[in-house]
């Protein structure tokens, strides 16, 4: 929790939903404590009254709810200015515009998800086969709900068309403007399509379904599409249409109008009182959706590393949330409508705000963005809310992070000074080892060239000269004690400086990769100090697991000296390894990128695998989960011969994952894992293909290279150089699937796809790549596994 970005917990300015910074037990001042309601909400009312007086809006209805009751409700200004002047009333019916997306379509879709009739990860074409044409076969229901489908903002209104059938045809004919999952583009077509899905699955129209399953159960008698004529006198008019007629009781949105007034993106009419009932049910009633569905709908569901945060249908923090100012909301959700409507709900404080205006009346051109911000600022003074530390923690868990990354922290960079486990052991005078000058503790050290303290002293030398400790054995992992060997033929040796025997625990068989029980039996304790790279198939993790097993079997204590995860401790990416396929490159069922340190992994392995070793982890001091290696202040030491810098470590989870296939990943060049190619690859063709995929965080430059060793040694390879443009948004594991999919699509006769599963260890993903499915959709299928892993992982995190 130490590394959460500084954010104010008392300011709630710049957005109606910014009340999300508040705790579950937060309370508003009562009228008795703060005077009567007029005094309490006087500044809030003054903001709206000023907007009316300055002509920014004709009028408004403001309703604030808190602790399961309405605490403020007021009408302002005029309902109509033209052609007649009418005063605003509390029962005024408003054209909700895009609030329809949430109050009608999203809830309808989530009910179908809740009932198991549709799945968020399903392709839209599963329910609307016509949708698959023109490159849309891999767009999912989740993509539509989060506005990451890549579809255009709206149907073409420059050409004459009319009717729902024509709208359906046009939606089905759409061609994505961006690859699905790559960009946030707010699109009405997404919700028009979702409306069609609701109708196809339920066999009834969207308006009838919503009425029967949402509005009638909640007693929302003034909410519906196509309002009847008898409502007309209460409806707030919007603006003049193309024929010069004032729209009143007819939907303002031109696409919805052409569709007959019922559409998934617009067309719903309602009152503040009805929206109050709706908000209360999402907060505590759970009549139309169960609590789990509401939570899923209202927390980040966009692609894992996307910048614009969207729930399912609901806005959290996107370009459409600029009136939040600089404060990032936590735990709240909401939406707005073009006509001047908004609804924001905060489940943490049990608070909601309904602000309904007809700002477009009578001739359009007005915005309510600044009004909402000013109302929020004034509301801070009207409501006093406090935050408990527990609630701050709970809220911070979902601050801008996808559900697959719950409990994660991320900061861009900092100038830190991290003291690693060996430094802390020295600072503690080796107490974790029970150092005793009279009876020196015989220690076996598992280490390599990365085992250095902040002064550059080898852990070997530190322990060899530590009082009360006798360094009796050194164990070297893959690549040997100096980390320079790229062979399975690594023999034992003797450390030149200390004379301590060095035992290799790497080779071409399982027996050679495990420590000798006879050597372990002669020790009092085992110490492990190796720098990892945070990737499942990096073999140092398995070596540590084998020493945990040996320690448990021989009843020797084992001490892990923790070190930073160089690619950070926040992001969890990639498929979880298949059960029953454990090997030297897959010690546990973790995702490819697990976001854990070696000490945390040791805790998890020891408990979850039932090893039961006498484990002690010496944690670091000053490391934050959001730290990349360049934020630690530590010296980079190559953890293996081809892991030469942080950029290569960033790319390794994906490029390393596919290197088992018949490609070169740059081993034998100056830039391993930064290039990918083969003699049969056409560099320009591959670069164009991959850049067209618009993969977040990377670009591809066509190149040629000749490896001096490993795959295609001394052969000229065509390929791409991978340029990291934003490491914080890159999904490295998905990048591996993108590259593998591209090679399989462009060179099916040459590329040996099946070999990538040796390190990916996920047959389902391999099958989907083979079938030509979109890599982003394949990555979506990993979310459930990552969520389950995250629950387990959370129990063992130290930082």
Answer for the pair 491, 646: CB distance below 8 angstroms, yes or no.
Answer: no
Task: Please report which confidence band the pLDDT of residue 25 belongs to, taking 50, 70 and 90 as the band edges.
Answer: very low
* Predicted pLDDT at 346: 81
Q: Is the confidence at residue 43, as pLDDT, over 70?
A: yes
Handedness of CA 586, 589, 593, 599 (dihedral sign): negative
SS3 category, 278: helix
Cα–Cα separations (whole angstroms), residue 474 to 450, 452, 503, 631, 648: 14, 14, 6, 30, 29
Angle (CA) 424-427-428 rounded to 5° is: 90
Among 88-97, 258-267, 293-302, 314-323, name the one with the lowest average pLDDT: 314-323
Q: Is the confidence at residue 476, as pLDDT, over 80?
A: yes
* Predicted pLDDT at 38: 64
- What are residue 718's phi and psi, to 5 degrees? -90, 145
Assign residue 346 a region (left: φ > 0; alpha: ψ between -120 and 50; beta: otherwise): beta
Average pLDDT over residues 153-166: 96
What residues have CB less than 8 Å from 784, skipping those under 6 apart?
A: none
Angle (CA) 81-85-86 rounded to 5° is: 110
Average pLDDT over residues 58-74: 94
Q: Over pLDDT 70: what percentage of the chain?
A: 89
Task: Please report which confidence band the pLDDT of residue 187 belongs to, taking 50, 70 and 90 as the band edges.
Answer: very high
Nearest to 81 by CA among 207, 240, 220: 240
* Predicted pLDDT at 331: 61
* Predicted pLDDT at 396: 43
> Rounded to the nearest 10 degrees, how much is the dihedral formed by the CA atoms of 391, 396, 401, 407?
-80
* Predicted pLDDT at 37: 62
What residues have CB less than 8 Å from 433, skipping those under 6 apart?
A: 425, 441, 443, 468, 469, 525, 527, 559
- What are residue 490's phi and psi, to 5 degrees? -120, 115
pTM of the predicted model as reported, rounded to 2 decimal places:
0.75
Answer for the pair 57, 392: CB distance below 8 angstroms, yes or no.
Answer: no
Among 72-86, 425-439, 512-526, 609-623, name the one with the lowest average pLDDT: 425-439
Nearest to 110 by CA among 263, 277, 275, 299: 299
Q: Is the confidence at residue 156, as pLDDT, over 60?
A: yes
Q: Is the confidence at residue 437, as pLDDT, over 90?
A: no
HSE of 131 in the Cβ direction (CA atoms, 13 Å)? 27
Average pLDDT over residues 654-679: 97
Cis peptide before 335, with omega less than 30 degrees from 0? no
Mean of the per-residue pLDDT values of the chain: 89
Quote the CA–CA distance of 448 and 538 in Å, as a whole number: 14
Quote the CA–CA distance of 757 and 777 in Å, as a whole number: 18
Cα–Cα separations (whole angstroms), residue 635 to 452, 456, 632: 9, 9, 9
Q: Is the confidence at residue 518, as pLDDT, over 90?
A: yes
Answer for the pair 174, 151: CB distance below 8 angstroms, yes or no.
Answer: yes
Task: Please report which confidence band the pLDDT of residue 412 belongs to, taking 50, 70 and 90 as the band edges.
Answer: low
Which helix (H) or strand (E) is 304 found in, with range? none
Quote the CA–CA distance of 614 and 401 in Å, as a whole number: 35
Q: Is the confidence at residue 3, as pLDDT, over 70?
A: no
- Order of strands across the sheet that contains 698-705: 675-678, 717-724, 698-705
Average pLDDT over residues 256-269: 98
pLDDT in tens, 352-388: 999 999 999 999 878 787 787 777 667 657 776 444 4
What residues have CB less than 8 Å from 444, skipping those under 6 apart?
A: 472, 473, 474, 475, 515, 519, 520, 523, 525, 526, 527
Q: Over pLDDT 90: what percentage of the chain?
A: 78
- What are the structure tokens assigned to 11, written together? 């300011």
pLDDT in tens, 721-752: 999 999 988 999 999 999 999 999 999 999 99
Biggest distance spanned by C-alpha atoms of the chain: 100
Among 3-7, 684-688, 751-755, name the one with the lowest average pLDDT: 3-7
Could you write out the three-class secondary structure of 484-516? CCCCCCCCCEECCCCCCEEEECCCCCCHHHCCC
* Predicted pLDDT at 251: 98
């Amino acid at each position: 929790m130490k590394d959460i970005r500084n954010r104010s917990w008392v300011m709630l300015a710049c957005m109606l939903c910014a009340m999300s910074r508040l705790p579950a037990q937060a309370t508003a001042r009562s009228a008795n404590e703060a005077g009567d309601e007029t005094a309490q909400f006087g500044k809030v009312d003054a903001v709206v009254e000023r907007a009316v007086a300055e002509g920014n809006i004709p009028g408004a209805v403001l309703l604030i709810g808190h602790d399961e009751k309405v605490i403020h409700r007021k009408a302002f200004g005029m309902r109509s200015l033209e052609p007649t002047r009418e005063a605003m009333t509390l029962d005024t019916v408003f054209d909700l515009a895009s609030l329809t997306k949430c109050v009608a379509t999203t809830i309808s879709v989530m009910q179908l998800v809740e009932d198991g009739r549709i799945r968020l990860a399903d392709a839209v074409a599963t329910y609307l086969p016509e949708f698959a044409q023109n490159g849309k076969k891999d767009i999912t229901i989740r993509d539509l709900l989060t506005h990451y489908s890549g579809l255009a903002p709206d149907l073409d209104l420059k050409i004459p068309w009319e009717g729902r059938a024509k709208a359906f045809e046009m939606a089905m004919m759409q061609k994505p403007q961006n690859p699905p999952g790559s960009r946030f583009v707010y699109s009405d077509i997404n919700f028009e399509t979702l409306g069609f899905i609701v109708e196809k699955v339920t066999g009834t129209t969207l308006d009838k379904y919503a009425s029967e399953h949402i509005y009638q159960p909640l007693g929302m008698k003034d909410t519906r599409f196509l309002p009847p004529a008898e409502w007309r006198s209460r409806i707030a008019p919007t603006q003049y249409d193309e024929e010069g007629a004032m729209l009143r009781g007819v939907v303002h949105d031109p696409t919805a109008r052409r569709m007959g007034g019922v559409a998934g993106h617009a067309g719903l009419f309602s009152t503040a009182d009805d929206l109050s009932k709706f908000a209360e049910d999402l907060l505590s009633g759970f009549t139309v959706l169960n609590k789990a569905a509401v939570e899923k709908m209202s927390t980040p569901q966009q692609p894992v590393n996307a910048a614009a945060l969207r729930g399912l249908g609901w806005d959290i923090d996107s370009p459409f949330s600029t009136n939040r100012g600089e404060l990032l909301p936590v735990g709240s959700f909401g939406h707005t409508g073009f006509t001047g409507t908004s609804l924001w709900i905060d489940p943490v404080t049990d608070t909601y705000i309904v602000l309904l205006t007809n700002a477009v009346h009578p001739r359009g051109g007005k915005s309510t963005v600044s009004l909402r911000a000013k109302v929020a600022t004034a509301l801070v003074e009207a409501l006093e809310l406090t935050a408990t530390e527990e609630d701050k923690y709970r809220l911070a868990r979902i601050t801008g992070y996808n559900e697959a990354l719950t409990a994660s922290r991320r900061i861009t960079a900092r100038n830190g000074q991290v003291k690693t486990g060996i430094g802390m052991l020295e600072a503690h005078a080796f107490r974790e080892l029970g150092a005793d000058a009279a009876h020196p503790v015989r220690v076996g050290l598992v280490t390599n060239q990365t085992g250095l303290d902040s002064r550059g002293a080898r852990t070997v030398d530190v322990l060899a000269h530590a009082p009360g400790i006798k360094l009796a054995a050194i164990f070297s992992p893959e690549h040997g004690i100096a980390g320079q060997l790229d062979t399975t033929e690594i023999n034992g040796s003797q450390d030149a400086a200390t004379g301590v025997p060095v035992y290799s625990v790497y080779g071409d068989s399982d027996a050679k990769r495990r420590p000798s029980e006879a050597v372990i039996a002669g020790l009092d304790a085992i110490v492990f100090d190796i720098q990892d790279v945070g990737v499942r198939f990096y073999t140092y993790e398995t070596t540590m697991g084998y020493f945990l097993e040996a320690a448990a079997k021989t009843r020797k204590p084992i001490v892990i000296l923790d070190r930073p995860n160089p690619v950070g401790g926040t992001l969890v990416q990639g498929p979880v390894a298949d059960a029953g396929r454990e090997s030297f490159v897959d010690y546990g069922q973790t995702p490819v990128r697990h976001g854990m340190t070696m000490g945390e992994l040791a805790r998890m392995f020891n408990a979850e695998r039932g090893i039961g070793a006498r484990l002690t982890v010496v944690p670091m001091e000053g490391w934050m989960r959001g730290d990349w290696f360049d934020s630690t202040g530590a010296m980079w030491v190559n953890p293996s011969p081809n892991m030469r810098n942080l950029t290569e470590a960033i790319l390794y989870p994906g490029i390393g994952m596919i290197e088992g296939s018949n490609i070169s990943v740059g081993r034998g060049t100056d830039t391993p894992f930064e290039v990918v190619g083969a003699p049969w690859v056409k560099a320009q063709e591959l670069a164009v293909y991959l850049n067209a995929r618009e993969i977040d965080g990377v670009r591809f430059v066509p190149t040629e290279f000749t490896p001096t060793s490993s795959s295609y040694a001394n052969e000229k390879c065509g390929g791409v150089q991978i340029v990291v443009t934003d490491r914080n948004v890159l999904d490295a594991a998905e990048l591996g699937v993108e590259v593998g999919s591209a090679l399989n699509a462009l060179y099916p006769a040459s590329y040996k796809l099946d070999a990538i599963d040796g390190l990916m260890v996920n047959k389902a993903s391999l099958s989907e790549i083979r079938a030509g499915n979109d890599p982003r959709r394949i990555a979506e299928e990993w979310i459930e596994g990552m969520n389950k892993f995250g629950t387990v992982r959370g129990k063992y995190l130290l930082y």
